[in-house]
Structure 1
Amino acid sequence: MPQQLAIIVLVDVGNALEMKTLEGNTYLFDNMKLHGSEGQGTGELVTAIHGSYWRDGSQASEQVLNWLPYSLGSIPPTVPRGYEAERARQTDRQALAELEAMVNKPANQGADAAAQISQLQQTLGTRVKSTRRTRGPATQKILDVTGHVISYDGAAAHSYPPPVITDIYGEAVDKKIMYPAEYGSPDMVTDGWYWSATVDSTRPGTYTYTMAIQLHRLLLQGGDWTWEPVDLTCDSKIRIMSEPKRNAFTKSGLGLLPIPPA
């Protein structure tokens, strides 16, 4: 069975949008640090992939890579998938209750209507209009990094949508070392979509690849706030190493049980 290797792509979205580059604003991690991966937590990750072979030199199984992009300084990815929609519904219900209380308030107690309306606007927050150009967030309200709905004025700190990997290409793909594709999943953390690739582990060497990553920037257009897509790229590497398939407990080759230690 192929081994599943995970690569976390952590992006400082705010800085990346300001600098218009992912260089220096992307931090890569994988779960192969103890097996030879280098550059953990930097933009120079080299993912170690151990080729799995039988003693006769034939390939035992290919390896599988999974890329998971996250945003630094945003709402944690561990919250349920419908969190933003639920927060929007809660604030709508709260705003309706406040409006009802304001309407039913006696006339002699309604002198500060402007303050009440301002509070109502804060409760409602700011809704972002969706566009056809973006593959990221749908129509939702703007949240801060703590998950609270905010009335955005263009300067307040807000939570960015997670980065979206739109393509994986480059040397490793051109040389048919790995075969990437986007898959759907009911996983609540990956929001239903993730990129995965099988890797031909019979060809040792170091190969580069490029990820096309789409970020989203809040932009005021025609009086409406929208998420403007910004497409950037990020490079990384894989290093395929050759070694025979071994028993994980005794470290010896495969054969009939019991297998003596090597």
Structure 2
Amino acid sequence: MPQQLAIIVLVDVGNALESNSLDGNTYLFDNMKLHGSTNQGTGELVTAVHGSYWRDGSQASEQVLNWLPYSLGSIPPTVPRGYEVERARQSDEQALAELQDLAAKSTVPSADAAAELSRIRRNVGTRVKTTRRTRGRMSGQKIVDVTGQVVTEDSAGAASYPAPVITDIYGEAVDAKIIYPAEYGSPDMVTDGWYWAASVDTSRPGTYSYTMRIQLHKLAQTNGEVRWEPVNLTCSSSVRITSEPRRNAFTKAGIGPLPIPPAPRPGQGT
């Protein structure tokens, strides 16, 4: 059965958007550190992939890579899926309660009432304009910060950026037919039901580079409307494939019958 290898792509979205580059703003990790992966936690990860072959030279098994992108400095993906929607609903309920309280206190328009109404409007927050280029979870939602508070005109906290989105994987490893990447559907709600994976041809040892095209989103205001505008950047990584004969862990030889231990002598136990 193929072994599943996970690669975490952690992006400092705020700095990446400011510098318009993923260089120095991407941190890659995988679960093969004890098997030889190097440069963990940097943008130059080299993932160790152990291949093996039978004694006749044929490929024994292949491996599978899985890429999981996350945003540094945003709301963790482990919170309940409806968290941001719930926080927006709470801000609406608070605004309605304040409006009812204002109406009960004053039946005659005044400068104080107008100022209070303006404050309430500012604290309601801003919804992101829905566009065809905006992915589903970001459409029509309010903007929240990393603490889950709705971002308003009076807020000092930065907005929580949407998770990075891998849109393509290409380069030397793909051109040489070492990895076969594709986007797959998944019931995993953390990744919005989509993730990138690739089977690896482990019969050809060597180090091969590949490039990920990653889409980030930044807030942009156009004609009084706030939108999440896509920004496409790239970062590179590598896989290092090693190969050795597949061995029986008991006999240290090829795959075959398991050794049968001799029967214990009388008095030596069972």
Question: What is the TM-score normalised by the length of structure 1?
Answer: 0.90
CA contact (8 A) 2:52 2:60 kept: yes
Distance 2:252 2:153 in 1: 62
The equivalent residue for 1:96 is 96
Q: What is the correspondence of 1:25-104 to structure 2 with a 5 Å cutoff? A: 25-104=25-104
- Counterpart position of 1:23: 23
Structure 1's 103 and 11: CA in aligned 2 closer, same or farther, altered over 3 A?
same
Hey, what does 1:203 align to over in structure 2? 204
Residue 257 of structure 1 is matched in structure 2 by 258
Give CA deviations for 1:159-194 in whole Å, capped at 9, x if unaligned: 111111011111111111111111111112212111
Q: Please list the CA deviations of residues 85-107 of structure 1 after superposition, one character each: whole Å capped at 9, or x if unmatched.
A: 22222222232222223223344
Q: CA deviation at 1:111?
A: 6.9
CA RMSD of aligned residues (A): 2.4
Q: Which moved more, 1:66-75 or 1:125-134?
A: 125-134
Deviation at 1:150, TM superposition (A): 1.4
| 1:7 matched residue in structure 2 | 7
SS in structure 1 of the partner of residue 126 of structure 2: coil
* Pairwise CA distance, 1:131: 2.1
Shift of residue 125, structure 1, vs aligned partner? 1.2
Question: Larger radius of gyration, structure 1 or 2?
Answer: 2
Whole-Å separation in 2 of the counterparts to 1:230 and 1:251: 55
Residue 228 (structure 1) aligned with residue 229 (structure 2): yes
Contact 1:80–1:188 (CA<8 Å) still a contact in 2? Answer: no
What do the CA deviations read for 1:13-63 (whole angstroms, capped 9, x no partner)? 111111111011101000000001011000110001000323333222211
Distance in 2 of aligned mates of 1:244 and 1:98: 72
- Measured in 1, the distance between the counterparts of 2:259 and 2:152 equals 67
SS in structure 2 of the partner of residue 218 of structure 1: strand
Question: Matches of 2:251 and 2:32 in 1, distance apart?
Answer: 18
Residue 116 of structure 2 aligns to a residue whose secondary structure is helix
1:142–1:152 CA contact under 8 A, matched in 2: no
CA distance in 2, matches of 1:104, 1:222: 36
Secondary structure at 2:215 match in 1: strand
Distance in structure 2 (CA, Å) of the matches to 1:27 and 1:195: 17
Distance 2:244 2:92 in 1: 59
Structure 1 residues 92-131: aligned runs within 5 Å: 92-107=92-107, 112-131=112-131
* Structure 1 residue 114: Cα displacement: 3.9
Secondary structure of residue in 1 paired with 2:173: helix
* Cα 1:52–1:89 shift into 2, 3 Å: farther
Q: Distance in 2 between matches of 1:153 and 1:211?
A: 38
Determine the structure 2 residue equivalent to 1:179: 180
Amino acid at match of 2:19: M
**One-letter amino acid matched to 2:99:** L
Which residue is equivalent to 2:142? 141
Q: CA deviation at 1:251?
A: 8.7
Deviating more after overlay: 35-44 vs 55-64: 55-64
Unaligned runs of 5+ in 2: 262-270
> In 2, distance between residues paired with 1:247 and 1:93?
65
Residues 122 and 154 in structure 2, CA contact (< 8 A), matched pair in contact too:
no
Letter in 2 for 1:90: Q
Identity of aligned residues (%): 73
CA contact (8 A) 2:123 2:154 kept: no
Match of 1:84, SS state, is helix
Q: Which amino acid aligns with 2:28?
A: L
> How far apart, in 1, do the equivalents of 2:31 and 2:154 lie?
41
